[in-house]
Chains A and B, each alone.
Chain A
């Protein structure tokens, strides 16, 4: 055996530190130890691992990470103010620690939003019902690592039949540039039967922040419930980011997942959804941009476990500079899932010589009574559309910008929440090449 990588050694040290220092209840420490054992068995996945074939973690492994210091003073969160005008409940985490001054946690009828710390201290039933129950299994080593280094996070509990109009906003800001931090936020969602809620998970980073953010979200969606979940990875300043969203849906539940990744050095998004009840549906929409020295990897896995379940997936990517993106969408239809329907589409726009896309839309089907389709395209802007615009007197560069923007905008427009939509639209314009030109016609 070769000696463990610096990253692995630092994870181990962090796990040991938590086990000794924390005045946590015994069960929590046992959960952490168990998480560490599972992670240690699986290890940091290498390129020989099919699910990590295109995403190298070598750079991550060479670093050494420390846990955020919960007792220390919070560095100034420059972005927190930008969001203070937003309606609804809000939790702000800076470098993995809850910033209570910027958060707004006043109760609402039918909705409880609290920090994982508090929920654990109170023996909240949601924690014992969800923690580690959904994000598990050999596919997700980083969920096990999250459990091993479990510190804080958010618990969102919506009562049955409650309709929550205003969104719940979870803002995660990475700011530490002095040392490489690893933060492991854990988000638990418990959506009661026939309830309805919108949750936004928004990640931001200050320039130069050296954080490794390893988020794990576990959600149980009750019968007939509705959830719109937006994961926003905002900007090129994000360093290493692994984001796991794990959902279990009961019958007739309806989930919309908007995944927006606007860049970052090494980004990996995992979505694992199990449609457990008849009539459950998930709608997955993804937009990813990657430019110079950015790597964005989107993996989705939808398991159709019950009859008459359906899923739709539409992911689009714009790659420029030396950007590289990976898309792997897998639909797994189990033998009992009669009458299921799954559609998947992945479109990619390559704008530069050095950009690269690796896409793999997979279907694994064990039932004949299904309707499934998938499609993937890689290409440039439609020549005929360009010609059309030019024939109307629009210069070539402007026409290109228009079409590029329109390609991305098609997904942005489908985000339900106007505040989030508008912000993302602005960010997309800023991050696309030729943003001044786009601004001139938007």
Chain B
């Protein structure tokens, strides 16, 4: 046990590797929020009138809402008037056309993060829409995508160039009335990605966006909208790192997915934001609304997430299974260490007939981390033949951490079959003993067992993310148990 404690201490003492601040002059609005701030954001983004109207409606609605406190987490009250709601890198007045035009300092940042943009883009065949703070500064592989008819661009661009699509789908999955943070996001969102896959098209490459939070005291409010038309298919990857900060940063993103008949959307996330230091100072508050709407028959939406960062995670990627025979999937690994708190899970709303959903959630708590799974499986009376399988397992490392499960199951149709299983335990002494007896070091043994524990989720990730995810997990937890 002594060596375990030492190992644990070592992991606990590990500094956040990606904690640095890029020295770029930011064009930041003063802190505070009122209608003028929203008008200013909209003006700076050169947005059409309809979007400004929508933002203002959202803002007025937000004013009537109260902050939710039902999540299993503790944090000091957030002062929404102390946040600056817009920050954009100043140097490029017009968005650069190619990587050469990108501010070298930005590229340097990506280098430090271990994400050589061009190299990675070419080698992995991934089109990267790099979001630095709030304005997209580099978009690659655009040509190849446009040949296929795929639209992949920053949200503000889509609002100008494809107003009819944006108007049709924006807020149709997550309306601005949905919840407190979704309303706030709708009012002040600054950028994000817009993806449109036309009928019968299989997107020729994996799409990927790196979100970063940079300027001090700037909440980042991303908005992503993905539309897959009939018979189309897309895989979207999202990964995040953020610089070290002493004050908590608020991140309230909204992601909306729409899948029409026979369409498939796969949305993968590896999230490694700054979790705060060993005493819980600093760190990102990640209050995200992600929802997919299987609007068409035989459509499929799959969420895969690996959550290792953030001081507080509040995130429930959900599926509305509206179309008959539609399928929703949720695969998640959530890791909490030190004083991290995660309250995450999913909602599967079965509306159509023969809809199916699978939930696999793996929670790992170490140090003084608190990890909660919160999920809802709802079978509406019309969802004839609906099927759900849920498995949520928790692994505990250390006697000061916590693992919690709050699954809601609401069934209103007798032909539905719903199964929920959960287990909570620590790594078995006998498993460890077996591995050690076969000559593995304690650390390797733990790594192996933890990776095995998460295998069901990792195998859902695209290849390059799976590697990154395993590394992340190794970094966060290596040697944390005995």
- Residues of chain A at the chain B interface (Cβ within 8 Å): 50, 335, 338, 348, 350-380
A368-B426, A370-B425, A380-B417 in contact; A360/B396 too (CB < 8 A)?
no
A-B contact pairs, 20 of them (CB 8 A): A350-B416, A358-B409, A358-B411, A360-B406, A362-B407, A363-B404, A363-B405, A363-B424, A364-B404, A368-B399, A369-B399, A372-B425, A374-B420, A374-B421, A375-B419, A375-B422, A377-B418, A378-B379, A379-B418, A379-B419
**6 shortest A-B CB distances, which residue pairs?**
A368-B396, A350-B414, A372-B424, A378-B418, A376-B420, A363-B405
Give, as a whole number of angstroms, the nearest-CB distance from B376 to chain A.
9
User: Is the pair A357, B411 in contact by a Cβ cutoff of 8 Å?
Assistant: yes
Give, as a whole number of angstroms, the nearest-CB distance from A16 to chain B.
35
Give, as a whole number of angstroms, the nearest-CB distance from B146 to chain A.
48
Q: Which of A338, A352, A354 has the most CB of B within 10 A?
A: A354
* A53, closest chain B residue (CB): B408
User: Is the pair A356, B412 in contact by a Cβ cutoff of 8 Å?
Assistant: yes
Q: Which of B381, B415, B422 has the most CB of A within 10 A?
A: B422
In whole angstroms, what is the CA distance A378 to B414 when docked? 8
In whole angstroms, what is the CA distance A369 to B404 when docked? 14
Is B402 an interface position by the 8 A CB rule?
yes
Assuming A361-B422, A376-B420, A379-B419, what are 5 further A-B pairs, CB within 8 angstroms?
A: A50-B70, A366-B401, A367-B399, A371-B425, A377-B420
**Contact residues in B for A366 (Cβ distance below 8 Å):** 400-402
* A354, closest chain B residue (CB): B381
Give, as a whole number of angstroms, the nearest-CB distance from B385 to chain A.
11
* A374, closest chain B residue (CB): B422
User: Is the pair A367, B414 in contact by a Cβ cutoff of 8 Å?
Assistant: no
Instruction: Write the B378-411 contact mask toward A (1 if CB under 8 angstroms, else 0).
Output: 0101000000000000101111111111111111
**Contact residues in A for B177 (Cβ distance below 8 Å):** none
Give, as a whole number of angstroms, the nearest-CB distance from A325 to chain B.
10
In whole angstroms, what is the CA distance A378 to B419 when docked? 7
In whole angstroms, what is the CA distance A364 to B398 when docked? 16
Give, as a whole number of angstroms, the nearest-CB distance from A355 to chain B.
6
In whole angstroms, what is the CA distance A369 to B401 when docked? 11
* A54, closest chain B residue (CB): B410
User: Is the pair A373, B411 in contact by a Cβ cutoff of 8 Å?
Assistant: no
User: Is the pair B424, A370 in contact by a Cβ cutoff of 8 Å?
Assistant: yes
- Residues of chain B at the chain A interface (Cβ within 8 Å): 70, 365, 379, 381, 394, 396-426
**Contact residues in A for B411 (Cβ distance below 8 Å):** 348, 350, 356-359, 378
* B424 interface neighbour in A357, A373, A378, Cβ under 8 Å: A373
User: Is the pair B414, A380 in contact by a Cβ cutoff of 8 Å?
Assistant: yes
User: Is the pair A374, B426 in contact by a Cβ cutoff of 8 Å?
Assistant: no
**Contact residues in B for A353 (Cβ distance below 8 Å):** 381, 413-414
User: Is the pair A335, B409 in contact by a Cβ cutoff of 8 Å?
Assistant: no
In whole angstroms, what is the CA distance A338 to B411 when docked? 36
Q: Which of A353, A361, A368, A377 has the most CB of B within 10 A?
A: A368
**Contact residues in B for A371 (Cβ distance below 8 Å):** 424-425
A362-B405, A373-B423, A374-B422 in contact; A380/B415 too (CB < 8 A)?
yes
* B371, closest chain A residue (CB): A365
**Contact residues in B for A358 (Cβ distance below 8 Å):** 408-411
**Contact residues in B for A380 (Cβ distance below 8 Å):** 414-415, 417
In whole angstroms, what is the CA distance A350 to B425 when docked? 32
* B416 interface neighbour in A50, A360, A372, A379, Cβ under 8 Å: A379
Give, as a whole number of angstroms, the nearest-CB distance from A201 to chain B.
29
In whole angstroms, what is the CA distance A365 to B404 when docked? 6
User: Is the pair A363, B396 in contact by a Cβ cutoff of 8 Å?
Assistant: no
* B402 interface neighbour in A50, A350, A364, A374, Cβ under 8 Å: A364
In whole angstroms, what is the CA distance A348 to B417 when docked? 10
Give, as a whole number of angstroms, the nearest-CB distance from A297 to chain B.
13
* B421 interface neighbour in A50, A357, A365, A375, Cβ under 8 Å: A375
User: Is the pair A365, B403 in contact by a Cβ cutoff of 8 Å?
Assistant: yes
Give, as a whole number of angstroms, the nearest-CB distance from B333 to chain A.
18
Give, as a whole number of angstroms, the nearest-CB distance from A381 to chain B.
10
**Contact residues in B for A348 (Cβ distance below 8 Å):** 411
**Contact residues in A for B401 (Cβ distance below 8 Å):** 366, 368
* B397, closest chain A residue (CB): A368
A368-B397, A369-B399, A374-B422 in contact; A352/B414 too (CB < 8 A)?
yes
**Contact residues in B for A363 (Cβ distance below 8 Å):** 394, 403-405, 422, 424
User: Is the pair B407, A376 in contact by a Cβ cutoff of 8 Å?
Assistant: yes
**Contact residues in A for B408 (Cβ distance below 8 Å):** 358-360
A358-B410, A363-B404 in contact; A373/B396 too (CB < 8 A)?
no
